[in-house]
Amino acid sequence: MPSNKSVSDAPIVQFTNCRILRDHQLQREDLWVREGKILNPEKLFFDEKGSADVQLDCKDSIIAPGFIDVQINGGFGVDFSLATDDFKSGVDLVSQKILSHGVTSFCPTLVTSPPSVYHQVLPQISVRNGGAHGAGVLGAHLEGPFISKEKKGAHPEHCLRTFEEGAFQDLLATYGSLDCVQIVTLAPEMRRSSEVIRELTKRGICVSLGHSVANLSQAEEAVQHGATFITHLFNAMLPFHHRDPGIVGLLTSDKIPDVKIPAGRRVFYGMISDGIHTNPAALRIAHRAHPKGLVLVTDAIAGMGLAPGRHTLGQQVVEIDGLNTYIAGTKTLSGSVATMDACVRHFQEATGCSVETALEAASLHPAQLLGIEHKKGTLNYDSDADFLMLNDSLCVQATYIAGEEVWRQDVSGM
């Protein structure tokens, strides 16, 4: 067949002998990639009379969209809530290391901190595409300080804040800038939170409900004002109660379908599927109640990827004991040391869900939450060619960003 050089000089790569996750099903098809995008082979054949320049045998691997982690506090010794003048090098290190765990895009997350930390750190975070240098940065996730004292979890109480008169200006003064911010977690029961939610939503920032003692009606009101996410469901919120299920009740609220959520999106909820933060039974309950809203997050801290011992989470010292992470000297959980691929495997095992469902909880759903599903989180034609090769046990074998291999499992010692 003639090549398609008349249309583009860029090479076309055809991934063969694979099962592609597309339209919620693993399908035995080839994947075609050019210039960092996924190609429609029919258009290539019939419109361009083109063919592949390179063929790669995937040896029956699963090909799935790259994972998107919207809540990661750090890892590999890097704490995103510590202010340094060379913050960017820490982001670079984490973005490189998480490629081996299938993460191709992420939101660096800052826990409750003094204003000076936000003012120093946020200008050093820039939204950027992924590549050989590491996973793409989608923008910051600011978890606090506008959260409940009663459900502060691992957040330092002396840094917590309430909304004063001119609530949104108060938030701006605290953070310094919202230029690179993608998600803000706040407690919706706080006075004046409604105007803050509206203003953040107007700016295209996702509002998440968390670290909160809100009842269901307060949570529903927050959704009506634009909130679309729940931060680590079940953790740091009122426990489910049959007379008032609290924030958890949003999963089956009969008022949500009537709410005009921006762009018609549903309410999503994060879950830390590490076997520690949420009992498998609770994971199953949430998944069966609202499967299309479940977003897997790691909530990983600086100690992820390191040996047990003492590490930091912003203003606090934390201790890692096996898979448990606690504020030093307490039994208060403080983030996780789980990697995203491990969370996907645990979720699939704990719920008995399909492979497709487990993979979409870490790819499609976070993309939908952030409104970027037209380019990330799927293998649809014209979307970004950020994808993974996995074996049947959902272990990552290779990671691709923009169609280029950025990490591969070393099998030389196997």
Q: Note the pLDDT of residue 49.
A: 72
The answer to the question of whether 264 is labelled as a binding residue is no
Residue 105 counted as an annotated binding residue: no
335 is in an annotated binding site: yes
Contact criterion met (CB below 8 Å) for 215 and 249: no
The CATH superfamily of 12-64+378-408 is: Urease, subunit C, domain 1 (2.30.40.10)
Instruction: State the catalytic residue, choosing from 299, 341, 384, 386.
Output: 299
Find out whether 129 is annotated in a ligand binding site: no
* Residue 277 is labelled as binding a ligand: yes
Q: Is 154 known as a binding-site position? A: yes
Do 306 and 77 contact (CB within 8 A), yes or no? yes
The pLDDT of residue 3 is: 46
pLDDT of residue 172: 97
How is residue 168 written in tokens? 């949104």
Where the chain has pLDDT below 50, the residues are: 1-6, 258-263, 413-414
334 is in an annotated binding site: yes
| Residue 30 annotated as catalytic | no
Distance of CA 401 to the CA centre of its chain: 16
Residue-level pLDDT at 265: 52
CATH of 66-370, one of 3.90.550.10, 3.40.50.10800, 2.115.10.20, 3.20.20.140: 3.20.20.140
The predicted pLDDT at position 45 comes to 77
pLDDT at residue 47, as a whole number: 78
For the chain, give every residue range classified as CATH 2.30.40.10.
12-64+378-408
Is 232 one of the annotated binding-site residues?
A: yes
The reply, when asked if residue 275 is annotated as ligand binding, is no
Ranges of CATH 3.20.20.140 domains, the chain: 66-370
Position 250 scores a pLDDT of: 95
